[in-house]
Structure 1
């Protein structure tokens, strides 16, 4: 697991970080370890293991782990520490279904009315996703972040704060597996093409076409994530058992 430079002791160490910030950093580290299968489903560990590794107290570790437990990524075992939970594909399917409903509803709202303050977000998205090929990013991490912003900004632009709030919560819960969709260059190219088509339909008020394109885009991403996740879990578990390639 990646160390936290902020936490490493040295002669001119800065003042200790606030407890809440430490918990956030530990949360991010463990989440990334799970996302990239440095901790595979079924792995067991204790709060003390992580605290010792990072050189911090167990309190922020415990806070981070309970947050991850609430998101369904780890589970607390009776007198046995913690364990990375297996991927619950049924749960992710439900979250993806909710995401589709929220985003398609937002697309129709954007296409039915006139220009609103939220359309400034669409203009910014068009600048990024309608860029010519030579100006497109090929950085998977960057495009993954932009992809998340694309969908969140569309929902926010529609102007319903409660829909946007629920959508952000769903986004947080599926972030780990969504980013697996950008581990291959063809999916990055597809993201640019599909986002451009969706935006063009929204900007020209073609609501039904925009909704159809958005649904196909989400379902395509969902299928790729499911396939990649199964493969990576299998390979990570084989490596953990000493299996060959």
Structure 2
């Protein structure tokens, strides 16, 4: 019995991770229904763990279950985009002040992530764009984690799917956004390393405001 329970949990976790990391971050999936049978075949599990994973995603606010229709991926609204950027700004600015005050700026770790971003191809296809935004999210998460507040880190981490989805959308809506993001990240890191909390907050606010404005433009 224990082995069966563990297998079920493993299948659910596998399906949950696949949906979060491969399906829900695809901008083309917004406003569409998910086919449980097709997903089960893609993931290599039965429909039961897929259904269980979808219930977890409902609790995360990433999927809606519509009676007689199934699992629906709701579009990211303009209000949600604005609120996401506002929340990120609050959390990241707070983290920036803390790491500067406590001399815990993860300079090398963040620089390594930024360098990996910059090394991606200039012409990003869908897969490369997702990797670029994954590194973007990691860059900011490294700042958050360095502040040493586990609750804030977990809260920020839960924004992962929406951040990637929103970020990929922004990349494809504006030419040259890839280079701008890297430059904005470097400005944030330079301010952190210099110990200037006000300048770091200004750089963070600018970075998030540009992304928000791009997304709300359409």
Tell me, yes or no, if the aligned pair for 2:29 and 2:73 is still in contact at 8 Å.
yes
Whether 2:72 is the aligned partner of 1:88: answer no
| Residues 44 and 83 in structure 1, CA contact (< 8 A), matched pair in contact too | yes
Measure the CA separation in 2 of the matches of 1:152 and 1:174: 11
Following the alignment from structure 2 to structure 1, what is the Cα–Cα distance between the partners of residues 84 and 63? 18
Q: Matches of 2:153 and 2:165 in 1, distance apart?
A: 20
Q: TM-score, normalised by structure 1?
A: 0.69
1:205 counterpart = 2:176:
no
| Stretches (4+) displaced over 6 A | none
How far, CA to CA, are the matches of 1:103 and 1:219 in structure 2?
13
Q: Which shows bigger deviation, 191-200 or 91-100?
A: 91-100
Q: Distance in 2 between matches of 1:163 and 1:198?
A: 19
Aligned positions of 1:69-84 closer than 5 A: 69-84=58-73
CA shift in 2, pair 1:214/1:66, >3 Å: same
Q: What is the match of residue 126 of structure 1? A: 111
When residues 23 and 212 of structure 1 are mapped into structure 2, their CA distance, relative to the original with a 3 A threshold, is: same
Q: In the alignment, is residue 151 of structure 1 matched against residue 140 of structure 2?
A: yes
Q: Which residue of 1 aligns with 2:47?
A: 58
Alignment partner of 1:136 out of 119, 132, 156: 119
Query: Which structure has the greater CA radius of gyration?
Result: 1
Match of 1:164 in 2: 153
Q: What is the aligned-residue RMSD (CA, Å)? A: 3.0
Q: Is this contact kept in 2: 1:92–1:174, CA < 8 A?
A: no
Whole-angstrom distance in 1 between the partners of 2:35 and 2:135: 35
State the TM-score, normalized to the length of structure 2. 0.77
Deviation for aligned residue 1:63: 1.4
Partner of 1:111: 100
| Offset, 1:103 | 0.4
Equivalent pair of 1:140/1:188 in contact (CA under 8 Å): no
Q: From 180, 183, 200, give the equivalent of 1:190.
A: 180
Q: Distance in 2 between matches of 1:70 and 1:18?
A: 22
- What CA distance in whole angstroms lies between the structure 1 residues aligned with 2:74 and 2:35? 14
Partner residue, 2:9:
20
Q: CA deviation at 1:147?
A: 0.9
